Amino acid sequence: MTQRKRTNRTVKRKTNKANIVLIVGLIIIAIPLLIVGWVIISATLDTGTPILGDRYENDLDPAITKSDITNIENSVKGLSGVEKVNVELATATLRVYVDVEDGYTADMATSKASEAFNSVLGVLDLGTYFSQTETKKMYDLEIHVFNLDKNRDSDDFVYVIMTKTSGMETASTQLVSEPIDPELAQQLRDDVESRKNPSPTPEDDEDMTVGVDETEEVDEETEEDVTP
């Protein structure tokens, strides 16, 4: 009787250990499957939902308002020689487009860019809105001055850009309507023109000539056949 009881206990212990190992194994397998399933379900539910973020969090403070933009437009419009003004605020850059009279030269447009720049600073303080600190980024400012709105291929076309990023101490001005390297600019224009209107190659000429000779030979053979 004693031997039978011990055997039964041993079998039960082995069975319990096997069950525990099986359960632990199932749990180990189930955990990654549950994680993958949750990721798939979450991705399916979030499909079509935009991921919103703010790259300028804690920056651009104080912000430029619509009222500020209106005041800048009115201030720049009051400058002499200005025909149209358009102010745009894109991301963290304030761009002021100034269309001046057609007769403006490069020097006149450069001077007008400085006037428009000062008009903007009359509405928005330079140190507050257009200068970054160690912990905060602020706005960049661009002044675009041009004299021709449509005929920009004309030799009289003038385009000046005055730029002041929040990381710059002073603004810089560039006459973009005149290339820095005229020879390189002309070479690029010629390359573009040659791509648009490729000149015929000698091979093309030979193909065209052979075609003409063959036509003449066919005509001569036809005439010989017709002649009695």
Q: Are strands 159-164 and 82-90 parallel, antiparallel or unpaired?
A: unpaired
Q: What is the pLDDT of residue 52?
A: 46
Contacting residues for 173 by C-beta, under 8 A, at least 6 apart: 110, 113, 114, 160, 161, 162, 163
The pLDDT of 60-83, averaged and rounded, is 95
Q: What is the pLDDT of residue 149?
A: 82
Assigned CATH for 66-175:
3.30.70
pLDDT category at 89 given cuts 50, 70, 90 is very high
Q: Is pLDDT at 13 greater than 50 in this prediction?
A: yes
Q: Which of 72-76, 79-83, 171-175, 211-215 has the lowest mean pLDDT?
A: 211-215
- Enter the tokens of residue 76: 């720049």
Q: What is the pLDDT of residue 143?
A: 98
Q: How many CB atoms lie within 10 A of CB 87?
A: 19
Q: How many CB atoms lie within 10 A of CB 69?
A: 17
Percent of the chain with pLDDT over 90: 43
- Enter the tokens of residue 40: 């798939």
Q: What are the structural domain ranges in the chain? A: 7-52, 66-175
pTM higher than the cut 0.85: no
19-23, 27-31, 38-42, 190-194, range with greatest mean pLDDT: 27-31
Q: Is pLDDT at 39 greater than 60 in this prediction?
A: yes
Q: Is pLDDT at 127 greater than 80 in this prediction?
A: yes
Q: Residue 169 and residue 120: Cα distance in Å, rounded?
A: 17
Give tens-digit pLDDT for 132-188. Answer: 988 889 999 999 999 988 877 788 899 999 999 999 999 999 999 887 777 876 787
Q: Is pLDDT at 190 greater than 60 in this prediction?
A: yes
Backbone angles phi and psi of 123, in degrees to 5? -100, -40
Q: What is the pLDDT of residue 217?
A: 53
Percent of the chain with pLDDT over 70: 74
